[in-house]
Structure 1
């Protein structure tokens, strides 16, 4: 269950606070306008506030102002244009289709442009039913803009006052997701769970974790100037270091299960991981409540049990039983777990200290870690081509809305075409899987919302009760829109239908007509989701190349750090983030593809394994870093660096060969040769960490070899239908 759906954490989450902020601003502005004007005018002002409120998301203050100002200007311009065109039917229809197309093209600017697209299309549908003279149109737009600017001022004021609080909430969400990540890893020690399924689940959650960590970076690393900010910076950095340690705990779980299948050590390891997840959750919970966190969980019983298991295995090995491999694996896990427990302790301490400044990466350029948002016209123009997914999506939306308008004009009852169009706008998304999920949520949510509204109007039709329901639904809509859209669909249906009942109290067909319009809009959106569809398998070659390219860069930075060529881990962190982002993109594409028709699915198992193998390379590098730190005493630098150099060369050639077969930069000819075993001259070095380094490097090279196998299988399966996929999208 999502942490924000838990009653214990729900009221501290930024989702609930967003709902409160949204509801207070929207209701407050509408009621304020109602004190000086009539209901219709107040609703116009409220709609302006609502369109701006759709852009009210956690963002750095400067970005937030720019995003919300863009919404004010764009939505006001669309309102004016539609109002002026309304008296001329064919001009209005043409304008609606063109606005739908260009609004959908804004998706090219990334995830943050999606609310702006929705706000633009929402106000387009809200404006299309009004017949106005030019003077009335300008007056209407003035009222709309007044409400939009009022919410902009309100939201910026609240965001400035709560700027540190929002950072805490977003950081806490990343910590909660890290705890959920450890919960998945804990089940690797439970033999009841299938390892392959657990790996798939882990990689899927890693994509979500990467997204939450990026949101935390964007807010925390852009501006940190006072003591409070210094605390969240230190907790954030400690969280990332802890994440790397958790990556390093990956081991050969199949071998662990073979050697320790009958040992209570497996349950002990599971219990330690479960406790670690709860410990991290306690830090996250403290952060949400603006409190320092203190360790309250003891790991001593489990650690003592592990030591007892090790003594027993050692005694059995001394007695001649084959326990050396089990001993080595369990000792390695014991050492990594102790390191993680120490780091969790540091996470607690990071939330307690009062820092005078933020010494972390002083004078370093944080831009590579942050999301870059550029709104350049040239970027949109470059996508005016049929092989662009965004261009195809925009055409799809424009055609679907044109069809919805045509159907609405032909219906025998007093249809409201704007509700059909609004349903299409909400359901039709860039990918088939998103459209499918949104359609289900929209239909179920609307039906439930209509039933609840009918009950309210039939049995509880009292002004005070209706206003209370309006306020609650207004708060619930933004609260659940990113958590459970189905709940948001219920709330928004109640909110809009109750508002309509206040404006037109004698409309007895209000709910029935909206239900019919919703089903019509859903049917139109479903049909057009197959028109010019951008099936996920078409993007796979580009995403595979991207993963291989970033992995090569990551290996360069990793081995430079491991061999001591670089003592600054800044480049390593940047490349690790880039690789995790590319793996998250590929994983998200795979998840979306699984929701598409079976005929459009390609190489599912090989993509799964390709993602897992690349993920394992990151885990092996993290483990090597941990081993070198743990056995730093008397380290034979020359021998270790020679071993690392050899491994770096071999893994680099392997990845380069895989990249070349996917159309990337051609590697050296030697990269195509079969890998040779580690030279025998490296066999014996008198250093405690040597066997561990050797073993980890063998695993690293073996998993790199598997990447070629799976990438070739993907290419064979995808290439016949992916002629356009090689072009950048």
Structure 2
């Protein structure tokens, strides 16, 4: 067994997706550089590598269909920058203007979000590399055009390599994405178990129940982002057998995610002054077991290991229930029944991902493909940011001003051999918000210091040219792989890359190159930090729009769930509405994190925003609970009575949200059903069979009462609580916007 684990294939299967992508980029750079070195010599190979390296930034973990346009645009953008630098070189004023033009236009690519960000850094890095090339060499006349031609070859070669490798690696990316989704689901279950474990202490200490939910909300937002990345990889080409193998299991992950959130519905009902029974704490420990099972399943998906079996449920049947108040019997019973559904869902999930072949799809392919992130590049995105209120335009103006200052300062300091280093530091450290700028500042300084030490140690060994080329490829691989994971590592690899390029260009390492690199990094990081306060786009200015978007998303999600009746699927619009809720919650949690680093004067509404996010989480959990109840007990519902209850709740919640925000299409009751009554639902009868003391043998049972009235009573209770949570969310939103 040990020998099997140490084979190259087994070790490769341990690599995460970002390292696989980074090594693919490094292999491409090494292959292109080696081929050109053998055919045209080492100087030409280094020039080709400068073009290939910058284009490789656009090579990300993405489906092949989504790579074509970004790679072609990256190649054209890098070539255009190289041509502009070549034409302006030798004229400080023209070069300064070119730096400003390139910087401003590069930042505008972020109008298209993360996919545009790769093109931003493609242009910035191309600017830095070409300034270095023209400063270090005598490139005039024919030599200049030859240099530009080699750069163009490198750009085209890397674009071709990325498109080809993307198709080869697509199945691997898909299996790793499913593994990441399983791990994210495990972390969500663990977060809920941790929240439950601290419940007795919170009841004793009287802690704020909403504040204690924030870690769980953040984990919910995190899994939403991971699931969307997996959708993009799996749903891009539904004709591929590899994708069709994983899709049923991935849909199972999404369903279990909703069950986990629905459990919070019952946990929130536990009164603060009521002791937590041992049965509930035991259930929390079993949740930990299920999270560990998901981690093992993720390892099996990523490393092609035998699929683990679902662990046997803990013996909660012998846990005494004498400490459970009679009035809370139905809450505990609902929670444990939902847990039984979760175990059933995990078993189905395991059975689905364990199938080695493509499986038939139960959902329409058009619905699945509509769930992908956009891959087009509409000009409307650019027009939308051409306003002084736009954070993108402010960031572009702020970065351009900082680069102008850095360009002037770089030519005024005692050391002026590599002015592009300071420009590079300013460009990568200065982000669109203060929190990311501070994080990048620290990571850049720490990484550069470590990289300078590594480069000095390596060059002290006096490696030959081929070793240096290999290290350059490896450094690029590491820098590329960790750019969005840990920028300290990327900065360290970037420092090694820069210093080795200086060594190759001069044939030796200049005595002050390391100190110059450190000095430029410190000065550039300080400039970026200072300019981050120029024309800032504080989070509080963008939040009212996001909160309104959240309310609209919650209203649509509730409308589609209640409008589906007892149908088994949400449909395309319902699925989009649910995803929109999770997307906006993720954006709001990111805003919460960024606001923590902003000046205290800009954090006046931080507590109100936390309340909005937590109450949105509760409402989303309630809606998921309603949907889960409709699906699990659909055979017990009387269709006419069920639609009447759902229609009434739908109308009231629509009216509630409509008081705060305009809804494009208000929730409606089916035409053939009774119209919603303005009177509230009658209270549930607490003397019925639902409130009889539960027995230990019912704790993990999936059996449900077969009475239609009983099912409707449970549904009425869920709908009433959903309305209460919707009202609480609306009140929190009003307080925030006041």
Q: Same fold (TM over 0.5)?
A: yes
1:350-408 residue CA offsets vs partner (Å, 9 max, x unmatched): 12325565323235343431111332345324432211211111111111111000101
In 1: Cα distance, 2:659 partner to 2:685 partner:
26
Shift of 1:75: 0.6
406, 409, 416: which one aligns with 1:407: 409
In 1: Cα distance, 2:141 partner to 2:536 partner:
40
1:414-449 residue CA offsets vs partner (Å, 9 max, x unmatched): 342100000011111122221111111111111121
Shift of 1:470: 4.1
Worse-superposed segment, 447-456 or 375-384: 375-384
CA contact (8 A) 1:658 1:707 kept: no
Q: Which residue of 2 aligns with 1:151?
A: 158
CA spacing shift, 1:462–1:138, aligned 2, 3 Å:
closer
Shift of 1:18: 1.2
| Residues 1:308 and 2:315 aligned together | no
- Where in structure 1 are there 5+ consecutive unaligned residues? 1-6, 669-673, 717-729
Q: Which residue of 2 aligns with 1:444?
A: 446
Q: Which residue of 2 aligns with 1:162?
A: 169
Provide the secondary structure at the position in 2 that maps to 1:242. Answer: helix
In 2: Cα distance, 1:8 partner to 1:551 partner:
44
Provide the secondary structure at the position in 2 that maps to 1:658. Answer: coil
291, 310, 320: which one aligns with 1:277: 291
CA contact (8 A) 2:262 2:624 kept: yes
In 2: Cα distance, 1:322 partner to 1:330 partner:
9
| Residues 1:710 and 2:723 aligned together | no
Q: Which residue of 1 aligns with 2:252?
A: 238
Q: Which residue of 1 aligns with 2:311?
A: 298
1:259-280 residue CA offsets vs partner (Å, 9 max, x unmatched): 8735322331221111111222
Worse-superposed segment, 508-517 or 276-285: 276-285
Provide the secondary structure at the position in 1 that maps to 2:366. Answer: coil
In 2: Cα distance, 1:500 partner to 1:675 partner:
77
CA spacing shift, 1:424–1:697, aligned 2, 3 Å:
same
Q: Which residue of 1 aligns with 2:382?
A: 380
CA spacing shift, 1:500–1:482, aligned 2, 3 Å:
same
| Residues 1:336 and 2:346 aligned together | no
CA contact (8 A) 2:448 2:495 kept: yes
Shift of 1:618: 1.7
Provide the secondary structure at the position in 1 that maps to 2:248. Answer: helix
CA spacing shift, 1:82–1:322, aligned 2, 3 Å:
closer
Q: Which residue of 2 aligns with 1:420?
A: 422
Map 1:396-545; keep pairs closer than 5 Å: 396-458=398-460, 460-463=461-464, 469-504=471-506, 505-545=508-548
35, 44, 48: which one aligns with 1:45: 48
CA contact (8 A) 2:53 2:476 kept: no
Q: Which residue of 1 aligns with 2:571?
A: 569
| Residues 1:587 and 2:589 aligned together | yes
Shift of 1:601: 1.5
- Where in structure 2 are there 5+ consecutive unaligned residues? 1-9, 668-676, 689-706
Aligned CA RMSD, in angstroms, stands at 2.7
CA contact (8 A) 1:16 1:479 kept: yes
| Residues 1:205 and 2:207 aligned together | no
In 2: Cα distance, 1:38 partner to 1:207 partner:
51
104, 122, 126: which one aligns with 1:119: 122
Provide the secondary structure at the position in 2 that maps to 1:162. Answer: helix
What is the TM-score of this pair, normalised by structure 2?
0.87
1:639-671 residue CA offsets vs partner (Å, 9 max, x unmatched): 3332222222222221221325xxx77989xxx
In 2: Cα distance, 1:667 partner to 1:217 partner:
29
CA contact (8 A) 1:603 1:713 kept: no
Map 1:259-270; keep pairs closer than 5 Å: 261=275, 263-270=277-284
Provide the secondary structure at the position in 2 that maps to 1:562. Answer: coil
CA spacing shift, 1:442–1:506, aligned 2, 3 Å:
closer
What is the TM-score of this pair, normalised by structure 1?
0.88
How many residues align? The count is 688
Q: Which residue of 2 aligns with 1:616?
A: 618
1:481-539 residue CA offsets vs partner (Å, 9 max, x unmatched): 22211122112212222232233214111100010011111111111111111111100
Q: Which residue of 1 aligns with 2:560?
A: 557
Shift of 1:293: 2.5
CA spacing shift, 1:176–1:532, aligned 2, 3 Å:
same
CA contact (8 A) 2:195 2:216 kept: no
CA contact (8 A) 2:566 2:631 kept: no
128, 132, 138: which one aligns with 2:139: 132
Provide the secondary structure at the position in 2 that maps to 1:358. Answer: coil
Worse-superposed segment, 267-276 or 568-577: 568-577
1:314-370 residue CA offsets vs partner (Å, 9 max, x unmatched): xx4xxxx87223322221111111111111111111123255653232353434311
Q: Which residue of 2 aligns with 1:3?
A: none
CA spacing shift, 1:176–1:158, aligned 2, 3 Å:
same
Provide the secondary structure at the position in 2 that maps to 1:54. Answer: helix
Worse-superposed segment, 533-542 or 223-232: 223-232
In 2: Cα distance, 1:8 partner to 1:181 partner:
28
In 1: Cα distance, 2:433 partner to 2:344 partner:
43
